Structure formats: structure tokens, C-alpha cells
Amino acid sequence: MKRQRGYSLLEVIVAFALLALALTLLLGSLSGASRQVGQAELRSRAVLHAQSLLATTGVIEPLQQGERSGQWEEGRYHWRLQVEPYADARADAGAGALAAADTVAGPVLAQLTLQVWWGQADAQRLQWRSLRLLPANAGTLR
């Protein structure tokens, strides 16, 4: 009888073990990528909501000093907006610097600080700061 050539049982077992290891690594990287895509989608939605809120703040009704809060998408995203007069730390640091609000009766700067959070235990959080120029006839922030 001629000797038959082929794979031994040991070679087949080693090949299956290597295939199983490669598939495990591939599936692990795919699930990690899927999780990152999901987090990016949540972050993108939060950014879109925040941009919308910042764009309409002070347009529909005048800015008022203080804090407002709310939620979007039935409580999936929460936000807090704080409006306060802007104080330039560099101008206040100089000796003998004049306070602009005391000497000039012109436009006033308001600082808006918006925080948005979402996820379990509010683990994800973003924050924006923006300045708004209020006309001189608007007076000080209320």
C-alpha cells in the first residue's frame, strides 16, 4: 500500500486553535469599534443640541443673569446654562487698571457657560463658554 499524504490530527487541531484565536481578536476589535461609534453618535447629538441652544439664547428673549436648566430627548440629555457678566481677569490684574464697566457706558459682555451631560450616572459631560455682546441700551444683566 502506498503511503497517503494529508494532514495529521494534531495539525488540524493547531489550525483550528489559531483560527479561534484570530477570530476572538477580530471580534474584540470590532466590538470596541462599535462601542466607539455609539459614543461618537451620542456626543454628536449633544453637540448639536448645545449649538442650537447657544444659537437661540438671547435671540428670542433678552439675556438674564442667572442659571437655567432643562433636558432634551425625554431626559436622555441634561443641560445647565449659566449667564453672568464677563470680567476680564487680565484687566483686573494690572495695578491701577480702570474697571471698564465703571468708566464706559457702552456695550456689556455677558459670559454664557453651558454644560451638557448624559449617560449612566452622568458619566459623559461637555462644557462650552461663549461671550455675548449686549447693546448699550440693554443696561446691565438682570
Residue 141, Cβ neighbours under 10 Å: how many? Answer: 19
- Residue identified by cell 442659571 is 67
Q: pLDDT tens digit string along 77-104?
A: 999 999 998 887 766 555 444 444 455 5
pLDDT at position 52: 94
Q: What are the boundaries of each domain within the chain?
A: 9-138
Q: What is the pLDDT of residue 97?
A: 45
Higher pLDDT: 21 or 98? It is: 21
Instruction: Give me 74's grid cell.
Output: 425625554
Q: DSSP strand E in 49-123: where?
A: 66-72, 77-85, 108-118
Whole-prediction pTM value? 0.65
Greater model confidence, 72 or 137: 72
Q: What is d(CA 21, CA 16) in angstroms, rounded to the nearest whole number?
A: 9
* Nearest one of 33, 122, 11 to 77, comparing CA atoms: 122
- pLDDT at site 61: 81
Q: Is the pLDDT of residue 68 over 90?
A: yes
Nearest to 107 by CA among 82, 83, 131, 81: 131
**Average pLDDT for 57-81:** 90
